[in-house]
A and B are shown apart, each in its own frame.
Chain A
Amino acid sequence: MRDAAGIGVATGAYALSFGAIAQAAGFSVAQACVLSLAMFTGASQFALVGVVGTGGAASAGVATAVLLGTRNALYGVRLSPLLQRRGLARLGAAHLVIDESTAMATVREDPRAGRLGFWATGLAVFVCWNLGTVVGAAGASALADPRSLGLDAAAPAAFLALVAPRLRHRETAIVAAVAAVVATAATPFVATGVPVLLAALVAVAAGLRGAARSR
């Protein structure tokens, strides 16, 4: 329980920066808050406002956000047998499926502790994430020019902090580097926001290749 509260407070700090970045990208306070309430998956939220903030089409932002959300579906594979929920409880549990709640649920050996970890972490993060978003967005909306505070650089910094823990393996580091090069090289030639989607193909190609090799 104490772990859950600690993770909640830490993600509240993330949410402060999400609220501020959403503002800088041209989203209203209400839109930032609805994203945190309804989407409730950090990387996808950052991606939507990040793509729109650099001038990308809203549709490209939506596609990037949804593609990033696919990992939550894979978390369900591990969580579903643990939680064993049906009906309404499953609808609620699904909303709380995020990086943090999955991590806390799956590190426990005992299924009861795992379930407690999932619900406690999911709810603590949900509350803190939404409070942080309101404060961050409202705070940034009071600023005349978010660019003068360098808030346009906050989005790429956030993405870097999110991707860094995933770069420990050689394969993922290579995929990350190739994806960055592909997206940068494509920027002058395709509509804004599309380069990031092209980078997704790097992951698909690497995934298929690795799967074929390990067979």
Chain B
Amino acid sequence: MWGAVLLASAGCYALKLAGMSLPQRVLAEDRVRRIGALLPVALLSALVATGTFATGQDLTVDARAAGLAVAAVAVLLRAPFLVVIVAASGATALVRVVS
């Protein structure tokens, strides 16, 4: 796992430095800008879906789905980040205890 930790860290730093160093016109290009803005949205929402419903290659609806539902309500109520996390974890743990 150390390899992944160091490689990903190096990659992320290289991107930050590239943004500060590359000629402006490359990164300010319309296509680059649009894809750059949409990438986090697509990746994060895919991570929400797989983190909730995937266990390896199996799809399941388990206690995590309850956690996500509670998290969604907390986000809609504009709860602080930590409250969202604690509420989701708590709901998941509660469902596991009950079922």
Write the residues of chain A forming the contact surface with B, with a CB cutoff of 8 angstroms.
10, 13-14, 16-17, 26-28, 31, 34-35, 38-41, 43-44, 46-48, 50-55, 58-59, 61-62, 64-77, 79-81, 83, 85, 90-91, 93-95, 97, 147-164, 166-167, 171-172, 175-184, 187-189, 191-192, 195-196, 198-200, 202-204, 206-208, 210-211, 214-215
Contact = CB atoms under 8 A, between A and B. Distances in A.
B51 A54 contact: yes
B43 A199 contact: yes
Interface of B: 1-13, 15-22, 24, 27-28, 30-59, 63-64, 67-68, 71-72, 75, 80-82, 84-85, 87-94, 96
Given A160-B72, A188-B58, A17 B43 contact: no
Interface centre among B20, B28, B43 (most CB of A within 10 A): B43
B88 to A, nearest CB: 3
B53 to A, nearest CB: 6
Given A39-B13, A150-B92, 6 more contacts: A72-B16, A76-B19, A77-B19, A154-B88, A156-B48, A198-B46
Nearest to A33: B5
A159 B15 contact: no
A45 B78 CA distance: 23
A147 B33 CA distance: 39
A76 B18 contact: yes
Contact of A179 (B41, B67, B68): B41
B88 A76 contact: no
A16 B89 CA distance: 14
A192 B51 contact: no
A7 to B, nearest CB: 12
Contacts of B34: 206-208, 210-211
B34 to A, nearest CB: 4
A26 B5 CA distance: 12
